Structure 1
Amino acid sequence: MDYFEDIEVGRRASFGCYEVTREEVMEFASKYDPQPFHLDDDAAAKTHFGRLSASGWHTCAMMMSMLVENMKTHRQAGLGSPGMDSLRWVKPVYPGDTLRVESEVISKRRSASRPEMGLFKSNVRVLNQNDEPVLEMVSNGLIQVRDPSAPIED
């Protein structure tokens, strides 16, 4: 189990393998993002996407699924997330794509007001089968401190 003290700035990880299906793209879109280019081939063909594409929010959900699956084998004393600093959908995701995740820890700090927790920031990229980025974000993760009585370093 990794705690705040175990997180190293610069640590990289690569994980996940998510096969995007037409059925899932349409199911997600029909429920959460029912725009024509996510639901209809003819409508999608008339857009810059050129064909049916996944919702960006669906891409986020697929990334989260791979992240949680990775956490099953690389356990952390995670405490959730206060959000993201940035999020970009760089390239469309299409049915038939296979996605994976790369991340790099870019900073970390202890909480002054809650010494039992720390925060770390990561650059996260989702790539397709051609190693093309489809999503980029800076995420914030809260994590438990192993020894909250240890002094907070600057």
Structure 2
Amino acid sequence: MPGLYFEEFEEGQLIRHAITRTVTEADNTFFSTMTMNPAALHIDHDYAARETEFGKPLVNSLLTLGMMIGISVHETTHMTTIANLGMTDVVFPKPVFHGDTLRIETKVMGKRRSKSRPKAGIVTFEHKAYNQHGEEVASCTRQAFMHAKTEGE
């Protein structure tokens, strides 16, 4: 099933995404090494236990960001997006650890027709990720360039 078209989004619309995901140690290690991030904070249990206030490895924040947006895709932009235009206001108010389960909510903050393409528009989303305790662990604002079903004025 495709995501929503430009016209189907309404400002203030809140989508509580059906998919949830538990982050594993393998996810974090693979992502960190694949993206060439050797930070011991993410991949070294001994270092994390001795040298950090958390006592265990943190999930790489870019993995958290990617999962937050990725989980939202099926119910928002799957097969209806032209491109992401940017992500701003990215924050991580609480850490994510191996074994945490993420659930995602997306709020439509605004939308406008494209000035250059008659069958497209820009939708601004606010994504929020929560762990299994209901604590907000990440948020960002994303602008997506979306296909429209009809031509605008």
Give the TM interval when normalised to the shorter protein. Answer: 0.7 to 0.9
Aligned mate of 2:38, from 34, 39, 50: 34
- Specify the code of the residue in structure 1 equivalent to 2:134: D
Relative distance call for 1:64 and 1:123 in structure 2 (3 A) is closer
Q: Which runs of 5+ in 1 are unaligned?
A: none
Residues 69 and 127, structure 2, Cα contact 8 Å, conserved in 1: no
Aligned twin of 1:57: 62
Number of residue pairs matched by the alignment? 148
Distance 2:137 2:149 in 1: 35
Distance 2:75 2:48 in 1: 33
TM-score, normalised with respect to structure 1: 0.87
Aligned twin of 2:136: 133
Match status 1:105 vs 2:105: no
**Cα shift readout 1:59-109 (whole Å, capped 9, x = no counterpart):** 1222233123445xx856221211112211221110010001011001100
Distance 2:45 2:123 in 1: 41
> Percentage identity across aligned positions?
30
Match status 1:93 vs 2:93: no
Distance 1:111 1:49 in 2: 45
Q: Which runs of 5+ in 2 are unaligned?
A: none
Aligned twin of 2:72: 67
TM-score, normalised with respect to structure 2: 0.87
CA RMSD of aligned residues (A): 1.8
Match status 1:48 vs 2:50: no
